[in-house]
A and B are shown apart, each in its own frame.
Chain A
C-alpha cells in the first residue's frame, strides 16, 4: 500500500495520474494499452469483429504515459458481505435515469441500471458490450443493436427491444421534465425482432455509441413504467442492474437488495444501504468507525487522516469532468484576448494540483479529458507570470476591476481555497480580480449573455463529442458572451466534426477546435480534480470516471 502511494506520487509529479490502490504496476501495464487486468471477473465475451466499436483511437493516438483508473483484478472473490453501507455527500432525490442526472444520482444509477454499451475502465475506457451483445453500423446514420437474451428486469420481466425503444422514445417526446430530452439525435427507432433494433440518427453521428454509454441511456422497463407511471417510478425504480431498490426514504436512505439473477453474476453483498453524510469530517469519522464501508468524495486533504488510521484503501481517479471559468468576452477588460490570456497564464495550476490537492488532480491541455475516447495528448496549460505581465502591458491594462463569481457554499472540495489561491496569483501579476461568492442557484442564474460578471466558475463533462458542439458550439452561452462571428472558424470545424463518423478524422478536427478555444480563451480551463473513494482494505471497488458506483461482480469484490 505504502509503496503504491509513493509510486503514484512520483507518477503524479510527471503530470499523470494514478489510482492509489496499490496496484500501480497493474495500472502501468494497462496504461500501455495492454489488457493489464488479467481475467477481470466474468468478463463479457470479447466483442465480435462485427462490432465497429469506436475502435481504439485512444490507444492509437494517446501517448504511452496514458494513465488508467483503478481496476479490479481477478483475485479470488470469495468473500461476501451481508450489508454494504455507502455514504454519499447528499441523497439522490429520485431515481429515474432519464429525469435528472446529478452526480449523486449517477452513483445509484450505477447499481440499478445498465446501458447498452459500457466503457471498460480496466481497459482504458474501451467500449464493450453492456446489455447489447453486439452493435454494428449499417450505414452512416444507422446502427443496429443486438441485445443479450439473458437479461431480466428486477420485476422479473425479460429485457426486450421494446424496452430499449421505449427508453429512447421517452427522450424524443419533448417532455421538459426529462433532462434526457433532446440528448439523442435519433430520427427513428426500428424494432426488428425481440432482441434486435436499429437506431437511425438525424445526421451521421460518430459519437452515438458513446452516447449509449451515458446515464441517460440507462434502459428502463416499458411495461412496468407504463403501469406505475413516472411519479412512482422515481422512487420504486426497476432496472437490470446488480441491485434492486427495496426501500426509498427521500433524503434519508435507499436500501437495495442483490439482484440474484443479474446477468453478470451474483453481486458480492446481499444488501446495500445508501445514506448521506453531508459533513466531511463526519463522513470520515463514520468510515474510521466502521459505520460505513464505502466513502464517496473524500476530499484530497483528508487522505492523510484515513491513511493514518490504517486498514483503509483510498482510490484516486481522474473523472470525466473539468473545472473551468466562463469568460465574458463582451465586457471590458476581458473583451481583450491579451487580458484573457494573462488571466490563464497567471494561474500556477501545477502548484495548486500538487500542493493543495496533494497531487490528486492534473493540469489538462484543454477542456478535453484524458479519458475521452478521442483524446490526443497536449502539453498542459502554461504558467508564465512574466508573459502574463507583458500581455497586460500590451493591452494597456491599468487595474480595471475583473469580477469573479463562484459557488459558495462550494461543491468541490477545497474550492474556496483554490479560488483564493488563484486570486492571489492574479494579484501577483497585477490583475485586480474581486471574488463574489453566491449560492449555486444564484450562480446559474447569472450564466446569461448579459451577465454583469467577467468570470464565472463552472465545471463540465469533457468528451469533445458530447460537449464541443452542444456546450461550446454556436448556440452556447460561451459564444453568446463574445461578439457575433468571433468563433466562426471554431463553429465551422465542430459542425463538420459532428457529422464525421470516422474517429480519427473527428479526433483531428476537434483538436483544431480546441486549439482555437485555447488561443482565443473562450473559457479558462483550470484543472481536473481527482475523485477519491475510501473503503476498508477488504473491499475492492473499481473506479468509474463517469461517476457510477458500479457494483457488478466484475467491478466490486470482497476479499475473504
Chain B
C-alpha cells in the first residue's frame, strides 16, 4: 500500500516539476544519444509486448493445465529439473515458464487500461479544473483529494467483495486508482499553459474554448501522460500483487505475476523458484519501464534539456 502512495507521490512530483515547463519541441533529439540502458529497457518492454501477444505460440505448456505428478519441480539447471519444464513447476504442477509468459498479459493490460482510464478521466478532470478554475476546479480537486485521502485498498477490497473477482473489475479499479494523480499533474500543466503566449494569443484571436483545448492544450499533455503511465505502472502491478496476497487478485486459474508470487511465498524455503521466476519478470518489467519513464522525463524536461 505504501507503494500505492508512492505512485501518488511521484505523480505529485510530476506536477511540481511540470509546473514550470514548456512544451517539448525536440522529439527528434531523442534518438540521438539514447543511453544503452534505455535501449535495453526498451527492448525488454518490446519483448514483453511480443510475449503477451504471442504467448500461446511461445509457451511450451498450457498455462492452466495442472500436472499433479510434476509438482514443485526445480528449474532445469538444478538437480531434479528437466528440460520439459525449463523454469520448473509450481505447487499445482503448472509450468512456470508458460505461466510467467502468460502472466505478462494481465500486467500489460492493467498498465494499459489504468493508463487509458486514468488518462481519460484524469485528463478530462485536470483540463476542466485547470482551464476553468473556480468552482469546477475546487470540486474536481476535492474529489481527487478525497480519493487520495481514502484508504483505497480497503475501498478496493470492498468493491471486489461486492462485484466478485474479475479481471475487468481489477482493471477498472486500477484505472480509478490512477486518475487523481493524472488529474493533478494535468491540471498543473494546464494552469501553466493557459497563460502562455500562444494560448493567450489564440484566445485574443477569438478562438473558442473547445478549439483551444483540443488544438493547443491536449497535444501538449500527451507526453505528460506517457511519462505518468511509466511512473504509475509499477504501483499498478504491485497493486495487483497485494490484492493477490489478500486472495482478491486475478481470478484463478489465469496466471498473473502478482498471484504467482503470492502463491509461492509459502514455498520460499522448499521451492523458492515458484515466486522468484515470476518475481524476476515483474522486476525486469517494472525497472525497465521506470527507467524509460525517468529518462523520458529528463529528456522532456526543458529545464534540464538546455544544459
Contact = CB atoms under 8 A, between A and B. Distances in A.
Asked whether any CB of A lies within 8 Å of a CB of B in the complex, the reply is yes
Given A305-B269, A305-B270, A423-B253, A408 B66 contact: no
Contacts of B270: 304-305, 308
Nearest to A305: B269
A436 B252 CA distance: 8
Contacts of A26: none
A417 B91 contact: yes
B165 A280 contact: no
A423 B253 CA distance: 9
A222 interface: no
B165 A301 contact: no
A441 B161 contact: yes
Contacts of A301: 91, 266-267
Nearest to A415: B247
Interface in B12-50: none
Contacts of B165: 408, 436-438
Interface in B130-167: 160-162, 164-165
A420 B247 contact: no
Nearest to B254: A435
A281 interface: yes
Contacts of B71: 355-356
A420 B66 contact: yes
Contact of A436 (B92, B164, B265): B164
Interface in B73-96: 91-92
Nearest to B166: A436
Interface in A387-445: 408-410, 414, 416-417, 419-421, 423-424, 435-439, 441-442
Interface in A81-99: none
Given A301-B91, A409-B247, A435 B164 contact: no
Interface residues of B, number: 26
- Which of A301, A410, A441 has the most CB atoms of chain B within a 10 A radius of its CB? A301
Contacts of A302: 266
* Dominant secondary structure at the A interface: helix
Interface residues of A, number: 31
A351 interface: yes
A359 interface: no
Contacts of B69: 355
Contacts of A408: 165, 247-248, 251-252
A352 interface: yes
A436 B64 contact: no
A267 interface: no
- Which of A280, A417, A435, A438 has the most CB atoms of chain B within a 10 A radius of its CB? A417
B54 interface: no
Contacts of A438: 161, 164-165
Nearest to B263: A416
A424 B252 CA distance: 12
Interface of B: 64-66, 68-69, 71, 91-92, 160-162, 164-165, 246-248, 251-253, 263, 265-270
Q: Sorted from nearest, which 6 A-B pairs have the closest CB atoms?
A: A409-B247, A355-B68, A420-B253, A437-B165, A424-B66, A439-B161
